[in-house]
Chains A and B, each alone.
Chain A
Amino acid sequence: MRILVTVKHTPDLQSQRSFTDGTVTRTADDGTMNELDENAVEAALQIVEAAGEGEVVALTVGGPDAVAAVRKALQLGAHKGVHVSDEAIAGSDVFGTATVIAAAVRKVAEEQQVDLVITGMAALDGLTSMLPTALAAELDWSQLTLASALTVGDGEATIERHLPDAHETVSAPLPAVVSVTDEANKPRYPNFKLIMAARKAEIPVWTLADLGVDASAVGASASRTTVVDASERPPRENRVTVTDTGDAGTQLADFLIEKGLA
């Protein structure tokens, strides 16, 4: 079983996040691996561990700092890492990103077949959740998304999908693109030995030329959308905080009534 896990370098949720020239500002200092990708790494490790054989390859796309996300995946137990980096990728929309990742998956598969790509359910910066679907379409693989449980066997993957109206069980033949939710598992903590090994691990950097992707097919110029304005929202004005000394419930009710909300 060979599994590729996509990991994304995103700004730390607790940091001051911002935009620069219409794209998310990413810096080495406050960046980390997208938290929800930890569930993807965990899912991949559990499958390989249960099978007693296999390999987990962590892949990221992004500027020089993005390698931090791959190192985090290695700390958790991924066996290998790949970093796709090319200035021409900057500003890609989800379809350009899917083109790049699909090409990287095919290149990883050249050395040995890839059975599964596992992703997180969303990146906590953009939160669009569109990449897994776009990637499945681009690869023309099975699409098993929003899995809260995942099992693999007999050339097939089966997931449980908790949607607001129904709980679905969906099966599909491998190879497949699977996205897992934060309900799927509890990610492990990195161990010291792996932290030391991850620090020294050699992570190959692939460019668009290495992947055989035409630079004009990706990046800001190929993007179907453009961020034309981004501004920080002002804090809420006229905030009121009261400490309950016996009548705060009444004050709260009066506030709601005055606002026409109760």
Chain B
Amino acid sequence: MSVAVLIDHRSGDVTRPSLEALTLARGLGSPVAVWLGDAPSADAVAQLGEYGAAEVRVAEVGDEARHPAKAAAAIATATEDSSVVIVISTFVTKEIVTRLAVLTGAGVVVDAAGAELVDGKVETFQTVFAATWNVRTRIDAERAIVGVRPNTTQASPAEAPGAATVVAVAVELPEARERIVSVEPVPQEDGVPLSEAPVVVSGGRGTGGDYTLVAEFAELLGGAVGASRDATDEGWISHEHMVGQTGTTVTPALYVACGISGAVHHRGGMQASGTIVCINMDPDAPIFEISDFGVVGSLFDVIPQAIERIKARRAG
């Protein structure tokens, strides 16, 4: 069975969630990579082959892929023979797959943590209600679309890696009513983006607006910096850093909440993380209820000491 994976790429590089999605796809059938935008480099194609893609179907649609309906039309053409399409779940891909499902009649589950075949049907698992419930969903339609969250599958190369063949896909894009007047790129910070980071260190009201220690701790642990809604509302840090139901949902192996009380909106964006650690002055803060390791104390005392200890242990 052909399982298509929409490859997410940044500056021409394949992102790690795409490799996770290919790994997941191998468990369902034979992966085929779908690439929208400018043609992939030879390195990118080789990497996709290493993770099991037999083909890389390229639709050179450039910036037209910014229109959800056009992106969906291109994917529909590129995946005509695939009964399953996997994408990385983001606000943008959710719009694209909705359009794709309208075109193909597919059943859709987004924000999934995984998928498997049961009696020939795709079943997905995910958490809902701020990650307090586990839900398993069967896709009954003949075609299935699954949006998977980053960090939910461990990416691994295929046992028998092949050389992927590049196939150009000719697509006819529909007219769009919408006109994209301007696109202003958001300067990308160094390191892994928040949604993909294996470690996230977040700061909230308790930082008082000073993110120095939070950033230093994140760097030491190889992670990204997050924030609570309070902190972004205060203008202490940009909205792109907000972890929560209306910001970025993260599922890292380690989440460190510094000076964050853990309001339900925030918890919904991070509660499915592997290990949760918190540092907060208020012992009654709800964040303690979902933390594996909680410290009642000041982040300004605790973080420097933790950094020093980790550095010492690494040196020794």
Q: Is the CB of B305 within 8 A of A225?
A: no
Contacts of A144 in B (CB 8 A): 178
Q: Is the CB of A252 within 8 A of B295?
A: yes
Q: Which one of B16-24, B26-34, B54-62, B184-192 contacts A?
A: B184-192
A209 part of interface (Cβ distance < 8 Å): no
Contacts of A226 in B (CB 8 A): 137-138, 140
Q: How many A-B residue pairs have CB under 8 A?
A: 244
> Given the known A-B contacts A232-B133, A259-B275, A261-B221, are A253 and B309 also in contact in the complex, defined by CB atoms under 8 Å?
yes
Q: Is the CB of A224 within 8 A of B106?
A: yes
Q: Please measure, in the bound complex, the distance between the C-alpha atom of A95 and the C-alpha atom of B100, giving whole angstroms.
A: 12
B residues touching A (Cβ–Cβ < 8 Å)? 10, 66, 68-69, 90-92, 94-95, 97-99, 101-102, 105-111, 123, 127-141, 177-186, 188, 193, 195, 199, 220-221, 239-240, 245-246, 248, 253-254, 264-265, 268, 275-277, 279, 283, 288-298, 301-310, 313
Q: Is the CB of B68 within 8 A of A143?
A: yes
Contacts of A233 in B (CB 8 A): 127, 131-134
A200 part of interface (Cβ distance < 8 Å): no
A193 part of interface (Cβ distance < 8 Å): no
Q: Please measure, in the bound complex, the distance between the C-alpha atom of A239 and the C-alpha atom of B278, giving whole angstroms.
A: 11
Q: Is the CB of A225 within 8 A of B295?
A: no
Contacts of B109 in A (CB 8 A): 225
Q: Is the CB of B310 within 8 A of A256?
A: yes
Q: Is the CB of B111 within 8 A of A137?
A: no
A78 part of interface (Cβ distance < 8 Å): no
Which secondary structure dominates chain A's binding surface?
A: mixed
Contacts of A183 in B (CB 8 A): 239
Contacts of B306 in A (CB 8 A): 249-250, 252-253, 256
Look across to chain A and name the residue whose beta carbon is closest to the beta carbon of B98: A133
Q: Which one of A1-9, A66-74, A81-89, A168-176 contacts B?
A: A168-176
Q: Please measure, in the bound complex, the distance between the C-alpha atom of A17 and the C-alpha atom of B183, giving whole angstroms.
A: 40
Q: Is the CB of B246 within 8 A of A121?
A: yes
Contact partner of A165 among B186, B275, B303, CB < 8 A? Answer: B186
Contacts of A167 in B (CB 8 A): 183-184, 186
Q: Please measure, in the bound complex, the distance between the C-alpha atom of A124 and the C-alpha atom of B240, giving whole angstroms.
A: 20
Q: Please measure, in the bound complex, the distance between the C-alpha atom of A260 and the C-alpha atom of B110, giving whole angstroms.
A: 31
Q: Is the CB of A236 within 8 A of B292?
A: yes
Contact partner of A19 among B135, B290, B304, CB < 8 A? Answer: B135
Contact partner of A122 among B68, B246, B288, CB < 8 A? Answer: B246
In A210-256, which residues have CB < 8 Å from any B CB? 223-233, 235-236, 238-244, 247-256
Q: Is the CB of B292 within 8 A of A248?
A: no
Q: Is the CB of A227 within 8 A of B184?
A: no
Contact partner of B180 among A170, A231, A235, CB < 8 A? Answer: A170
In A116-154, which residues have CB < 8 Å from any B CB? 121-122, 124-130, 133-134, 137-138, 141-146
Look across to chain A and name the residue whose beta carbon is closest to the beta carbon of B182: A169
Look across to chain A and name the residue whose beta carbon is closest to the beta carbon of B109: A225
Q: Please measure, in the bound complex, the distance between the C-alpha atom of A168 and the C-alpha atom of B245, giving whole angstroms.
A: 21
CB distance from A229 to the nearest CB of B (A): 4
A20 part of interface (Cβ distance < 8 Å): no
Contacts of A50 in B (CB 8 A): none
Q: Is the CB of B185 within 8 A of A171?
A: no
> Given the known A-B contacts A233-B133, A244-B298, are A168 and B180 also in contact in the complex, defined by CB atoms under 8 Å?
yes
Q: Is the CB of A162 within 8 A of B310?
A: no
CB distance from A246 to the nearest CB of B (A): 8
Contact partner of A95 among B102, B110, B123, B288, CB < 8 A? Answer: B102
The 10 closest A-B pairs by CB, nearest first: A249-B305, A244-B297, A224-B107, A253-B309, A224-B141, A133-B98, A229-B136, A249-B306, A241-B294, A172-B178
> Given the known A-B contacts A240-B292, A253-B309, are A168 and B133 also in contact in the complex, defined by CB atoms under 8 Å?
no
A181 part of interface (Cβ distance < 8 Å): yes
Q: Please measure, in the bound complex, the distance between the C-alpha atom of A143 and the C-alpha atom of B141, giving whole angstroms.
A: 26
In A1-59, which residues have CB < 8 Å from any B CB? 13-14, 17-19, 36
Q: Please measure, in the bound complex, the distance between the C-alpha atom of A238 and the C-alpha atom of B279, giving whole angstroms.
A: 17
Contact partner of B133 among A18, A253, A255, CB < 8 A? Answer: A18
Q: Is the CB of A253 within 8 A of B301?
A: no
Q: Please measure, in the bound complex, the distance between the C-alpha atom of A94 and the C-alpha atom of B147, giving whole angstroms.
A: 15
Q: Is the CB of A164 within 8 A of B98?
A: no
CB distance from A30 to the nearest CB of B (A): 13
Look across to chain A and name the residue whose beta carbon is closest to the beta carbon of B302: A249
Q: Is the CB of A241 within 8 A of B310?
A: no
Q: Is the CB of B254 within 8 A of A261?
A: yes
Contacts of B178 in A (CB 8 A): 142-144, 170-172
Q: Is the CB of A224 within 8 A of B94?
A: no
Q: Is the CB of B246 within 8 A of A232?
A: no
Contacts of A253 in B (CB 8 A): 305-307, 309-310, 313
